[in-house]
Structure 1
């Protein structure tokens, strides 16, 4: 899948809840590219509304094709603007204007403006995509500074570049203006975005419910508390709490990044940071971990959070569950992501993650600390069950409705824990699947290979298989260890019993195994 270019820093975002006071309209008729230059008064007033989608929908090829179309005088749709008393809001055309400014600034999500916007928190994928844009720009259109230097010159540049340079100063973008109130402008936005390239379901959900706790929390976590502050209206104390919690959760869930084919087992707990996928995961995760009852609280059912206190609680609850899954806190089980949440080919399975998170969230909510001891008792068996049966579990999920996938995985993990507690064994695959509602016989026919080349999936599958064979295991529970994420250094013979701090008395364990299970 083609990676998308992150241009969200190019035009600032502003809360659209503005006053409808009367003001004089002084509407510009067209939009020359000079309006995007540093110091431009128009640029200082230009804003994206807070309901505008994140500016990250174009591939490098689409971005460069648009710049070429602008320079070659091809037809470009009008930019649609609306003016408030203080700002000029881009109702439609945010990607077009952002692409042009990115070209002018040579910032495709990885240079000064973006680095400042994201406080240095820029993913490797975002950097790699920006590098790809820069290469295509050099090949197909040339840098902005290069063309700008040709304006009015007599250099022996190629004729295409000379013509394109001339259009920098002469070609404006066409404008249309929305007349009316803020409500009219917002309605116009949704009508416009139901045509052409429609809003993704997840994007529309976040936009329509942008002031609700789960929407604010999901956006804060994905960008580690940076980017546009959807929490800017809250008090300074609350803003700080949100940003600190979001940054911590981002590290726990999405770091380090991984790319195919896998060459490490240290893969992110929450999968890739691709905005649509990650937001979809976070919406469900926060619904599960933040609920005060056994039924997840949906984003749509929440009330707007006027003070941010609900967001703080939501992130605190998510942190409680996440710190049970990974990290170095005393209660951390230190689950190995590649074992629990990825299939045999290294592809992330969010339903496994959300299903187990549901089990842990319920235990924390109900004060059932015994569940974590029972899980640890059953852990080595559960992990063998997962490693041996990932392919069949994937097929079972494919044959299950989306609404039932997380509940089924929650039931599966609960059943495995309970079966081991009662019978000191992990049941067979068929027994387990039938107990949690899967019906019929599933056959894994394997992947059909079209040629002799190794695909990324095959390479990842080989690496995972071989790497797990020599992976460290916890001597207390015999479960897989991943020391780069979660480890505790344990005295085999306790200090209070005279155990020394030398190498012969040291062992690496899961944090919970050392501080809770062992005792």
Structure 2
């Protein structure tokens, strides 16, 4: 199945994040409001918006699609029942949203015309809002303005000499309409416990995401969140020194670029693909990658950022070795190691490739085996892509499949090293008890297709087949070259008098250029 792109509206910047425990010791005994009006949500119009926060460990407020945001705002404008928002006030007087962040953020978005690309969002993302977020924000605004109307139209209707009859009635009703509030009483621990209890009941939190919330101050969690936002957005590392903050942001942006750029347009018409495709499990994918790279890493909180930086540097090193122009990079092509022949990103294949990279880096004989047989190996795994799919489906998914995929790669390499043809390798795998089940009775995906119209995946497969066949190859090992991991090698070495002219140049993987030939 193709990986679905995330098409939800990012409302995360509309309520500022804050550490639950960032409060003074003075008990706050002020009375609490019981309702909120839309005017309370307008920037610069009241004290509520300046005081409201959400816990810094809360999930990103980006789970609602455009339809759901439109339905909610419509329900509020029409006076339909809206569940109460649950709040807690800290001793410092800050108001934290315990439940209802999406509801409250949707109204703030409408009132302030910010669906992920407005001033709130620009401030949080330092003016650099991701392009996909801008596109979705634009679509959301167009839908809401068309079906509901901008909040500003309602506001102006109250003082206009000749207002729109339909809008003025709704505007007058809106002026007296309020969002109900419930309050949590107690200390910080009570509030945090309430947050997890309420949110687990409403929509069970994914185990990985729950760990990200509960272990939010550990190096792996901080690193994962920083990579997802390319070092931008809310700074979960804001308590560290300026030097460490800048290091985290810089390395995170680099890793994000190495793994996720350029973006993918479907159907696929280029082999210039990122190592990973962004999906609805984007944060989980990055966290699993970080955790996989930093096996055995301490789960203690990072007090000054040094452990997070160490964690990020390890992740950057592996990403560079995977595919980059850095000296020593193996330049693995994502289409062979991370995607199906139909262009669908497979997280399990990605994890398997990372395990493979770690192994050839740590074990020189394995690396030598790979380089020697790389051309034949990459031809085999591309032509027999269905084996990986069946392995993932029948053995294990996710991180658990990494070791199995890597071991399969080395088994194939060892068979090819014996001089076997592709057919001989398949026959040998059939006789191997470990691979017999995944090699036999491979299903034909074309049998599932009944429509005469080419699907996006089918179009991608046609292009990928032709493009891989004609892709540039490394002049040293014969493996496929990735656009983001190509170097120009001197045929006659510089130290032997070779000149920097086109006739003395050849394309090569960075590692082959620096580690094999030299």
Cα distance in 2 for residues equivalent to 1:94 and 1:63: 12
Kindly indicate whether residue 403 of structure 2 is the aligned counterpart of residue 407 of structure 1: yes
SS of 1:48's equivalent in the other structure is: strand
How far has the Cα of 1:167 moved from its partner?
Answer: 3.4
1:265 counterpart residue number: 271
TM-score, length basis structure 1 = 0.92
1:326 counterpart residue number: 323
Cα distance in 2 for residues equivalent to 1:514 and 1:373: 14
Cα distance in 2 for residues equivalent to 1:185 and 1:436: 54
Give 1:145's match in structure 2, choosing from 127, 133, 152.
Answer: 152
Single out whichever of 206-215 and 68-77 deviates more from structure 2.
Answer: 206-215
Aligned pairs (5 A) from 1:182-261: 182-261=188-267
Q: 1:75 to 1:322 in 2, by over 3 A?
A: same
Answer whether contact 2:338 2:353 (CA < 8 A) is retained.
no
Aligned pairs (5 A) from 1:123-162: 123-159=130-166, 161-162=167-168
Single out whichever of 387-396 and 215-224 deviates more from structure 2.
Answer: 387-396
Q: 1:41 to 1:435 in 2, by over 3 A?
A: farther
Q: Could you say what the CA RMSD is over the residues aligned between the two structures, in angstroms? A: 2.2
Q: 1:168 to 1:435 in 2, by over 3 A?
A: farther
Give 1:428's match in structure 2, choosing from 425, 428, 432.
Answer: 425
How far has the Cα of 1:351 moved from its partner?
Answer: 1.5
1:12 counterpart residue number: 16
Q: 1:183 to 1:439 in 2, by over 3 A?
A: farther
Q: 1:201 to 1:167 in 2, by over 3 A?
A: farther
How far has the Cα of 1:32 moved from its partner?
Answer: 1.1
- Structure 2: which 5+ runs fail to align? none
Cα distance in 1 for residues equivalent to 2:360 and 2:385: 25
Give 1:26's match in structure 2, choosing from 22, 31, 39.
Answer: 31
1:475 counterpart residue number: 475
Answer whether contact 2:377 2:416 (CA < 8 A) is retained.
no
How far has the Cα of 1:233 moved from its partner?
Answer: 1.6
Cα distance in 2 for residues equivalent to 1:396 and 1:363: 22
Answer whether contact 1:351 1:406 (CA < 8 A) is retained.
yes
How far has the Cα of 1:164 moved from its partner?
Answer: 2.3
Cα distance in 2 for residues equivalent to 1:150 and 1:338: 55
1:99 counterpart residue number: 106
Deviation digits for residues 329-367 of structure 1 (CA, Å, limit 9, x no counterpart):
101111111122100111011112111211322454x4x
Answer whether contact 2:157 2:163 (CA < 8 A) is retained.
no
Answer whether contact 2:348 2:401 (CA < 8 A) is retained.
yes
Kindly indicate whether residue 316 of structure 2 is the aligned counterpart of residue 316 of structure 1: no
Answer whether contact 2:122 2:128 (CA < 8 A) is retained.
yes
- Structure 1: which 5+ runs fail to align? 292-296
Aligned length: 506
Cα distance in 2 for residues equivalent to 1:37 and 1:517: 63
Answer whether contact 1:213 1:304 (CA < 8 A) is retained.
yes
SS of 1:428's equivalent in the other structure is: helix
How far has the Cα of 1:120 moved from its partner?
Answer: 4.0
Kindly indicate whether residue 33 of structure 2 is the aligned counterpart of residue 38 of structure 1: no
Kindly indicate whether residue 457 of structure 2 is the aligned counterpart of residue 457 of structure 1: yes
Answer whether contact 1:202 1:279 (CA < 8 A) is retained.
no
TM-score, length basis structure 2 = 0.92
1:501 counterpart residue number: 500
1:290 counterpart residue number: 294
